[in-house]
Amino acid sequence: MNERPAAGFLPVDKPAGPTSHDVVAIARRALRERRIGHTGTLDPFASGLLLLAIGWATRLAEYLSDLPKSYAATMRLGIATDTDDRTGRTVATSDEWRALEPLEIRASLESLVGEIQQVPPMYSARKVGGRRLYAMAREGVEVQREATPATIHSIEVTRIEGPVVAFEITCGTGTYIRSIARDTGIELGCGAHLVELRRTAIGPHRVQCAVPVDRLEDAALVKRAWVTPAHALAHLPAVDIDADQARSLAQGRAITVPPGTGAGVAAALEHGELVAVGEVVGDALRPRKVFG
């Protein structure tokens, strides 16, 4: 791989099947770069946008992990599985979905918009008592899971054909779409599980701009899709600085910021290039991470 910037983010279109870790391993080989991470895992059966952090940009992944995520999802009413998706074992079936009106199905899903509490699936990476839930599930152990908060920004039902319901959802980080399908099935009294899931966006980043996994060695395609660190952090307040201020930040010293910058995390840019991420307190930007 050549003619590639030293660090940045690469949107990749993950196919169904490989894990997110598998995609990272493929990218390491294709891009000849060991320092590669990602900003949010996709289940193996899911496809779509995986935003890879490359080079020193791996230090920025935490600032993108909370961006809202959008998905195109399909669930199947009338069948519940132990994984809450199509990869699991059927644990219950029902024909009660036949009596449901489309309006009822839409209302059940759309009622989830806002702040909700959801129980994570047993087959998930969430830890209980220091152990991953999926590890216990594989041993045939089911434990009580506490509901955790999730934010649903929007849900739109796009298709209802018999027991199959397709919908688009935008949600906050940590939301389990499998739990959305499971809980909707419970609410409707017929059970349900997720059969397809495709991540279409992470914040402003769209899967349409992503590189297919099997084309990661295409240097021109990778270059076109490349996202610079400054662009990746465009959702943060930006502070334009000069060379002297950049040196101060590199030495761990705070710099003065313009009035009205606002408190919180901000990106420091010199000539449009990211040189630091810091915390604005009062009229000062205190460096957290410095690059260069």
Q: Are 101 and 165 in contact (CB under 8 A)?
A: no
CA count, 13 A, side-chain hemisphere, 247: 2
Sorted by sequence, the CB contacts under 8 Å of residue 163 that are 6+ apart come out as 76, 77, 78, 79, 97
Q: Which pair of tokens denotes residue 137?
A: 């599930």
If phi > 0 it is left, if psi is from -120 to 50 it is alpha, else beta; for residue 207 that is alpha
Enclosing H/E stretch for 288 = strand 284-290
Give the Cβ contact number of residue 63 at 10 Å. Answer: 19
Enclosing H/E stretch for 29 = helix 20-31
Active-site annotation holds for 43 = yes
Listing DSSP states for 211-251 in one string gives EEGGGTT-HHHHHHH-B-HHHHTTTS-EEE--HHHHHHHHT
* Residue (of 255, 205, 242, 237) closest to 40 by Cα position: 205
Amino acid at 207: V
Give the Cβ contact number of residue 229 at 10 Å. Answer: 26
The active-site residue out of 43, 84, 85, 183 is 43
Catalytic residues: 43
